């Protein structure tokens, strides 16, 4: 099924690009937040070191692996007879542990914290949603050469594309809200407010960019 491999590459490239843009937002926001405080010269080296390690080692590597897991799961379902509720649930349950281990938010949170189970539940919902969308995108048989063309063929209208995007964004935001409610869930001991602020502002910027990109796709 050549169309599946073609679409896999188109979606993967787009998602990796979006990941790098989002991580870039985070770095710029954190630098701005730390530069704004008079006493932040004490905290800045610690938080900056944490963030650099996080983006280089955890967020980038982990998110790349999550993208691969979502696309691989969808591809496997398509190539092995297509969607069925039992096969879908089986592959989600089989691969979710690895997906969670690579999650950039939950990896920075304490598993013993009272809110960790809520984060885990949101992550599973998000993974499930991502695989469902990947199933649709990868199985498009029309002749498309770019991600934008693939999106237009898949969703037909900007509104339908927006609803699909919103479903994913809402789940991402749900995870951030859990951390904002009680930042003691974070493992980092110093600068928790900077981390939560960076997560929120970075998400808001990424969200707006993704929504704006729909205008470019559905021109």
CA angle 8, 96, 169 (to 5 degrees): 65
Element (H, E) at 140: none
Mean pLDDT of 112-129: 96
DSSP state letters, 40-70: HHHHHHHHHHHHHHIIIIIIHHHHHHHHHHH
User: Average model confidence (pLDDT) for the chain?
Assistant: 87
- In degrees and rounded to multiples of 5, residue 83 shows phi and psi of -80, 135
Cα distance between residue 110 and residue 185, in whole Å? 6
- pLDDT tens digits, 180-212: 999 999 987 777 887 788 888 888 989 999 999
186 DSSP β-pair partners: 109
Q: Look at the block and give the residue holding tokens 């209208």.
A: 157
Cβ atoms of 72 and 111 within 8 Å: the answer is no
Residue 83 has pLDDT above 90, yes or no: no
Q: Is 106 exposed, middle or buried (0-12, 13-18, 19+ CB in 10 A)?
A: buried
Q: How many domains does the chain have?
A: 1
Domain assignment of residue 58, given as a range = 2-217
pTM: 0.87
């Amino acid at each position: 099924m050549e169309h599946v491999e073609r679409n896999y590459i188109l979606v993967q490239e787009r998602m990796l690009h979006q990941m790098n843009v989002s991580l870039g937002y985070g770095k710029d926001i954190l630098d701005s937040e730390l530069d704004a405080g008079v006493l932040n010269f004490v905290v800045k080296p610690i938080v900056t070191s944490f963030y650099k390690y996080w983006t280089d080692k955890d967020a980038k590597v982990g998110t790349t692996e999550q993208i691969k897991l979502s696309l691989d799961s969808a591809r496997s379902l398509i190539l092995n007879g297509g969607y069925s509720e039992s096969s879908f649930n089986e592959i989600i349950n089989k691969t979710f542990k690895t997906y969670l281990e690579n999650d950039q938010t939950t990896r920075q949170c304490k598993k013993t914290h009272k809110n960790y189970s809520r984060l885990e539940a949101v992550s599973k919902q998000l993974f499930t949603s991502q695989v469902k969308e990947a199933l649709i995108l990868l199985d498009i048989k029309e002749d498309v050469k770019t991600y934008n063309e693939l999106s237009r063929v898949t969703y037909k209208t900007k509104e339908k594309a927006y609803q699909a995007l919103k479903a994913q964004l809402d789940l991402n935001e749900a995870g951030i809200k859990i951390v904002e409610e009680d930042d003691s869930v974070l493992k980092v001991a110093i600068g928790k407010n900077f981390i939560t602020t960076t997560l929120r502002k970075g998400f808001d910027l990424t969200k707006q960019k993704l929504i704006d990109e729909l205008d470019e796709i559905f021109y």
